[in-house]
Homo-oligomer: A and B are copies of this chain.
Amino acid sequence: MIEKNLEKLLSGVYRKKITPQDAMEKLKVMMAEDIGVASVDHHRHARQGFPEVIYCAGKTEDEVAAIARTIIKTSGTLLATRANEKIYTRIRKIDKSAIFHPRSGAITVGGGKIKTGEALVISAGTSDMPVAEEAAVTADIMGSRVQTVHDVGVAGIHRLFSHMEKLESARVVVVVAGMDGALASVVGGLTSRPVIGVPTSVGYGAAMGGLSALLAMLNSCSSGVAVMNIDNGFGAGALAHKINTLPEKISR
């Protein structure tokens, strides 16, 4: 594509339809846009169809509000994570359609109507639900069709089995679990789909703020389980959506 543009440009100069000065200005723009690196960024946003996400922790309400205003104006869509009621009040003043997801503290505005694929978010215990909600909200607003199954930890493994159908129909599964993180391994053994494990900081003592679940998931005896940072529901949701929206593969 670039090559053709270059050819055109140089021909234009050669045929004196463009002055060297103008050509140089155009070249500069082309180089900036096309040095491979910079262009990627542009492509990426275009493809994902999703703007910057605001991680509210450590930001003031004013800061969040300012960023949110810009994003909403530009894209009509917003995802703000780790927010609270106060921030929500501020954002609602900017856009009345803003929704607050109280468990995870996520705030959303807009989001694609057309949902695609099928992402399943499974959590082990009720305490893991904030992280699970963050994952589900993220994948949903990005455009994935999301199902959720909560409170199916392995201490009562039959609870999980009553949801086998959902497991079967999912294209990608996010498993959210703290403590022993065992649910990721069990789910990984039950499905042939990609499994994204999200360890949570749920637990005490030797749970070590989620390290216990993190290590367990990294060492899952089920192959095909990939792991996110502790409590990183957003990352899991975003990755699940990426997998969900892969373009059709071509067999050659």
The answer on a CB contact under 8 Å between A206 and B229 is: yes
How far is A113 from B19 in the complex, measured between Cα atoms in Å? 46
Q: Chain B contacts of A156 at CB under 8 A?
A: 41, 189
How far is A68 from B34 in the complex, measured between Cα atoms in Å? 37
Closest-by-CB residue of B relative to A144 is B249
Smallest CB–CB gap between A31 and chain B, Å?
6
Asked if A215 is at the interface (CB within 8 A of a chain B CB), the reply is yes
Interface-facing stretch out of A42-50, A70-78, A84-92, A93-101: A42-50
Within A145-171, the residues touching B (CB, 8 Å) are 145, 153-158, 161-162, 164, 167-168, 171
Closest-by-CB residue of B relative to A222 is B155
How far is A212 from B180 in the complex, measured between Cα atoms in Å? 9
Smallest CB–CB gap between A156 and chain B, Å?
5
Asked if A69 is at the interface (CB within 8 A of a chain B CB), the reply is no
Contacts A20-B7, A158-B37, A194-B243; A214 near B221 (Cβ below 8 A): no
How far is A115 from B219 in the complex, measured between Cα atoms in Å? 29
Q: Chain B contacts of A164 at CB under 8 A?
A: 36-37, 40
How far is A246 from B118 in the complex, measured between Cα atoms in Å? 11
Q: Chain B contacts of A37 at CB under 8 A?
A: 35, 37, 157-158, 161, 164, 190
Closest-by-CB residue of B relative to A10 is B20
Smallest CB–CB gap between A9 and chain B, Å?
9
Contacts A41-B156, A188-B155, A214-B218; A171 near B246 (Cβ below 8 A): yes
Q: Chain B contacts of A227 at CB under 8 A?
A: 218, 226-228
The 5 A-B residue pairs whose C-beta atoms are closest, nearest first, are: A205-B230, A226-B226, A182-B182, A10-B20, A117-B249
